[in-house]
Amino acid sequence: GPTLCQLVSDSDSEMDSTEQLALGSTDTLSSGHNADLEAAKRLAKRLYNLDGFKKADVARHLGKNNDFSKTVAGEYLKFFEFTGMTLDQALRSFLKELALMGETQERERILAHFSQRYYECNPKTIPSEDGAHTLACALMLLNTDLHGHVSAFEMSAVKKKKG
């Protein structure tokens, strides 16, 4: 069945062509690794400072399924200090800095990066990175429900009642 994060989405669009290219590419971590890391750090800093980017642009650069995007996301999250925060406080402060838009998989990857960073900052607060991710997805789902958007979760519940 679908994961909790997939239920957060109200549309499951196909991957765009750049994502398909990224999935098909063979990203090597050989001699180009240091240059890639430096480029990722520079992009992460520009995204965090909104230097030439809008909040709406940020998620697109963090959510792709390729090594460079994952590195950028990891570097971007280092700008956030979540130590001592509850998960909902941390999620709120994170979501103030970017618009979590895009397709389900992209949003889920961004929440996974958030969860990894939250767990790094609070290893004694939550039992696992996975637990942080599940809770972050649940909070997003509750938030979607609270603000009146019909979620996939509600729709499947409605369909079961009618059946």
Q: Which residues are catalytically annotated?
A: 103
Distance CA 48, CA 57 (A): 11
Q: How far apart are the first and last CA of the chain?
A: 19
The answer to whether 126 and 132 are in contact (CB under 8 A) is: yes
Distance CA 141, CA 122 (A): 23
The answer to whether 28 and 162 are in contact (CB under 8 A) is: no
Q: Report which secondary-structure segment, H or E, holds 153.
A: helix 152-162
Closest CA to 156 of 12, 7, 3: 7
CA atoms within 13 A on the CB side of 158: 6
